Amino acid sequence: MIVFIPLYAAYKKVPVYETFIEGAKDGFGTAINIIPHLVGMMVAISMFRASGAMDMMASLIRPLFDGLGIPSEVLPLGLLRPLTGAGSLAFTTELIKTYGPDSMIGRIASTIQGSTDTTLYVLTVYFGAVGIRRSKYALKVGLFSDFVGFFAAIIICLLVFGT
């Protein structure tokens, strides 16, 4: 991949280095843009954990989901994901940091984060750009697919990585 793409592009007469730099600038901008979001969310989550609130909440929810084998730690992610891309990314990062990227929770969080999109943001941007005020059933469909994606991600991870 790393070798093939530049070679193919060179064959297509693309100025590979300049193009790479152009795209790389984009990547830099994206990474810089999410810093405030990551900081804001991680402060809140870190406080939530340190104060013992996380444990209190988890012990409340745990009986509901333990029966199904779903780790309750990923539940807040399901709430955050449709609302805020950077916020849920921060939450996912926090989970990966705490439990490790190769833990079941880390894998499930990664899959959830990768397989759904920030429905509210997409709706606002796309419809806002053309002046649509009434979105009919678009929001319902988007949230429904987030819901399905969330549980699909959990079930698939439990099946694939489960012991």
Q: How far is the CB of 123 from another protein (least distance, A)?
A: 6
Nearest C-alpha neighbor of 93 from the set 161, 154, 21, 37: 37
Minimum distance from residue 63 beta carbon to another protein (Å): 20
What's the rounded Cα separation, in Å, for the pair 28 and 100? 25
Q: Which tokens belong to 76?
A: 């807040």
Between 70 and 110, CB nearer to another protein: 110
Residue closer to another protein by CB (options 10, 64) is: 10
Those residues whose C-beta lies under 8 Å from the C-beta of residue 86, and which sit 6 or more positions away, are 34, 37, 38, 41
User: For another protein, which is the closer residue by CB, 66 or 102?
Assistant: 102
Which residue bears the tokens 């698939």? 156
Q: How far apart are CA 27 and CA 136, in angstroms?
A: 34
The SS3 of residue 88 is: helix
What is the nearest approach in angstroms of another protein to the Cβ of residue 88?
Answer: 10
**Min CB(80)–another protein separation in Å:** 7
Residue 107 in tokens: 């894998």
If the CB atoms of residues 65 and 121 are measured against another protein, the closer one turns out to be 121
